[in-house]
């Protein structure tokens, strides 16, 4: 019985997400859903990314948190346009929450919409929110065993970013076992290694972004980098 109810909830969620996803496509908005456990560095990645790209393309950030607007404040401080959703207890974002925000930002020109999901390795993966790509973060202190324990999240990701590689000398993070488990869960998963703190690997992330945006928009990120030499 519970499973039937859950299936109905997910079906109406997906229908709503598909509806506004069409609007994204019509308006050439690329939406990226960022998921991870709390503290893996989703907001830190957004801070770095906005500093790099905010003057090149039109970005907007939707922040999802159970309470408060600490992350929205950080994004705004990094120069980003941002809207904070409070889920008031729910441990994931869903299509209804996103659909409530979209009319409020309708008039803004947006090329790239980041949606930072609530920190949680379980149900954010179950709720489709109309994003074109799911980007997942795993930080090195969390350990390399997470794909085995939370396979759905990893199977739904298009890109896995290993963050906090500056901490590798101090933590046990076994890349070999990570790669081995990903081979069964999602062999096609893109993988990047970065540190939001030192900036290592971030260029690879911007390249990934550029290559997953429509060509005319992605080119704006590349062009600028070339000029910087």
134 vs 159: CA distance, rounded Å:
7
The window from 3-11, 36-44, 75-83, 219-227 that contacts Mg ion (CB under 5 A) reads: 36-44
At closest approach, how far in Å is the CB of 12 from Zn ion? 16
21 contacts which partner out of Mg ion, Zn ion, none, CB within 5 to 8 A by kind?
none
Confirm or reject binding of residue 71 to Mg ion (CB under 5 A). Answer: yes
Q: Which does 92 bind (CB under 5 to 8 A by kind): Zn ion, Mg ion, none?
A: Zn ion
Measured in degrees and rounded to the nearest 5, phi and psi for residue 65 equal -145, 155
In the complex, minimum distance from the CB of residue 117 to Zn ion, in angstroms, rounded to a whole number: 10
Q: In terms of DSSP bridges, do strands 112-116 and 30-35 run parallel, antiparallel, or are they unpaired? A: parallel
x/- letters, 201..220, toward Mg ion (CB under 5 A): --------------------
Position among 42, 74, 92, 146 found at the interface with Zn ion (CB under 5 A): 92
Torsions phi, psi for 143 (to 5 deg)? 95, 155
For residues 63 and 72, give the distance between their C-alpha atoms in angstroms, rounded to a whole number.
6
Contacting residue, 13, 43, 49, 134, with Mg ion by CB under 5 A: 43
Three-class HEC string of 88-152: CCCCCCCHHHHHHHHHHHCCCCCCEEEEECCCCCCHHHCCCCCCCEEEEEEEHHHCCCHHHHCHH
Per-residue burial over 144-166, b if 16 or more Cβ lie within 10 Å, else e, is bebbeebbebbebbbbbbbbbbe
Identify the residue among 21, 42, 146, 164 touching Mg ion (CB under 5 A).
42
Nearer to Mg ion, 71 or 158 (CB): 71
Please work out, in degrees rounded to the nearest 5, the angle formed at the alpha carbon of residue 79 by the alpha carbons of 137 and 114. 35
Site for Zn ion in 163-222 (CB under 5 A): none
Interaction with Zn ion in 94-123: which residues (CB under 5 A)? 123
Site size with Mg ion, rule: CB under 5 A: 3
Q: Which residues pair with 30 in a beta bridge?
A: 112
Q: Which stretch binds Mg ion (CB under 5 A): 64-72, 151-159, 188-196, 216-224?
A: 64-72
Per rule CB under 5 A, is residue 91 in the interface with Zn ion? yes
Under the rule (CB under 5 A), what is the footprint of Zn ion? 91-92, 123
Under the rule (CB under 5 A), what is the footprint of Mg ion? 42-43, 71
């Amino acid at each position: 019985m519970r499973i039937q109810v859950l299936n109905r909830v997910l079906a109406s969620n997906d229908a709503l997400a598909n509806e506004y996803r069409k609007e994204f496509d019509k308006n050439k908005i690329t939406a990226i859903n960022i998921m991870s456990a709390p503290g893996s560095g989703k907001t830190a990645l957004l801070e770095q990314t906005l500093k790099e790209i905010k003057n090149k393309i039109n970005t907007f950030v939707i922040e999802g948190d159970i309470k408060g607007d600490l992350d929205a404040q950080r994004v705004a401080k990094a120069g980003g346009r941002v809207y904070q959703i409070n889920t008031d207890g729910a441990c994931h974002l869903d299509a209804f929450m996103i659909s409530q925000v979209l009319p409020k930002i309708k008039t803004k020109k947006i090329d790239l919409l980041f949606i930072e999901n609530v920190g949680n390795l379980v149900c954010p993966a179950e709720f489709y929110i109309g994003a074109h790509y799911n980007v997942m973060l795993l930080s090195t202190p969390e350990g390399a065993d997470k794909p085995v324990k939370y396979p759905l999240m990893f199977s739904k990701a298009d890109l896995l970013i290993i963050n906090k590689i500056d901490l590798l000398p101090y933590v046990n993070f076994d890349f070999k076992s990570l790669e081995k488990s990903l081979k069964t869960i999602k062999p096609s998963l893109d993988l990047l290694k970065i540190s939001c703190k030192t900036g290592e690997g971030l260029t690879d992330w911007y390249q990934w972004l550029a290559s997953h945006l429509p060509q005319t928009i992605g080119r704006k990120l590349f062009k600028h980098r070339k000029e910087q030499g």
